[in-house]
Amino acid sequence: MKKVQNLILAIFFLIPTLFFAQKFQGKAIYQSKTVLNLNRPQDTTKQDQIRQERRKAFENMLKQELEKRYILDFTQKAALYTEEAKVDVGATNPRAGRIKMMANIMSGGTVSNGILYTNIQNRTYINKQELFGKNFLIEDKLPEYEWTLENETKQIGNYTCYKATATTQMRDLQAEARQMRENMRKKGNGNKKIEPIIKEVKITVWYTPQIPISVGPEKFGGLPGLILEANIGNTQLLCTQITLNPSEKVEINPPKGGKVVSQEKFDETREKKMQEMSKNFRRGGRSGGRIPGGRGR
């Protein structure tokens, strides 16, 4: 009887290995959600109520910008992570640039744009991004998170998922934005450079060994299964649909066409451009072009 049980267990663990040893491809759809924390004061006067209505309209557009869908195509060797095309908020709103900038700040800068190619086997990535009209190919190694594997499980769709946690250091863009506004209020500090503010953030993910692919949304990975949910800061990425061996195959190739840089070099270039944009933004603020609801935060 014991031999039969051992044989059954061996077959159970062998099936995924045999299944994934064949030519295999999958597609996962992720929905992003970011909790807004705008800390708006309550308005009482009629003029303030008008401002509040404008702020609400702005926040609705910001919420729309923060809610995105991503597609992860994967094989045993590589993965391609892209944002699903949708109607651009800029098509109807002249403040699209500021809305996108605020969305990046509110999400903590965690959600990638462009095309993210991951080489699962050698743990490297190529991220194609556009920065102020210029294409970049960011080539670097994937982050090596020190995952703590938990015993806690939960069901996501048809898959049993296990919890894993880690911590990481990241820019506190919301705190930097507050510091920028504080400098604007102080005479003579409007052009003062904002130093990066670093905070420690907890990452919680849920992965399923039923799909033994060491990848997930964004640059998350390094676990014995596909990550179906990732929570970092106030942003959640949740898998809403999985298709294994879809009828329409997708070629998973590294993106091309752009200046090749490391992640560190790209961050330096982006920081320089953001500082330039902040100066222009502050000049615009003096003529009434500030983001609605900037007062009181």
Secondary structure class of 149 (helix, strand, coil): strand
Question: Domain of 264?
Answer: 20-285
In a domain, 295, yes or no: no
Q: Give the pLDDT confidence score for residue 58 in this predicted structure.
A: 66
In a domain, 266, yes or no: yes
Q: Give the pLDDT confidence score for residue 6 in this predicted structure.
A: 41
Q: Give the pLDDT confidence score for residue 199 in this predicted structure.
A: 85
- What whole-number distance in Å separates Cα of residue 256 and Cα of residue 115? 10
Alpha carbon separation from 73 to 17, 187, 210, 247 (Å, rounded): 20, 52, 17, 13
Mode of pairing for the β-strands spanning 226-232 and 235-244:
antiparallel
With cut-offs at 50, 70 and 90, classify the pLDDT of residue 67.
confident
Given a cut of 60, is residue 16 above it in pLDDT?
no
Given a cut of 60, is residue 56 above it in pLDDT?
yes
With cut-offs at 50, 70 and 90, classify the pLDDT of residue 247.
confident
In a domain, 297, yes or no: no
Given a cut of 70, is residue 109 above it in pLDDT?
no
Q: Give the pLDDT confidence score for residue 188 in this predicted structure.
A: 57
In a domain, 4, yes or no: no
In a domain, 2, yes or no: no
Q: Give the pLDDT confidence score for residue 17 in this predicted structure.
A: 47
Residue range 126-161, pLDDT digits in tens: 999 988 889 999 999 999 999 999 999 999 999 999
Q: Considering its fold, how many domains does the chain have in total?
A: 1
Given a cut of 80, is residue 211 above it in pLDDT?
yes
In a domain, 290, yes or no: no
CA nearest neighbour of 180 among 275, 58, 99, 96: 275
- What whole-number distance in Å separates Cα of residue 216 and Cα of residue 255? 18
Cα diameter, the chain: 83
Which of 5-9, 88-92, 102-106, 239-243 has the lowest average pLDDT?
5-9
In a domain, 58, yes or no: yes
With both helix axes pointing from N to C terminus, report the angle between 173-185 and 263-285 in degrees, rounded to the nearest 10: 30
In a domain, 140, yes or no: yes
Rounded to two decimals, the pTM is 0.74
Q: Give the pLDDT confidence score for residue 11 in this predicted structure.
A: 39
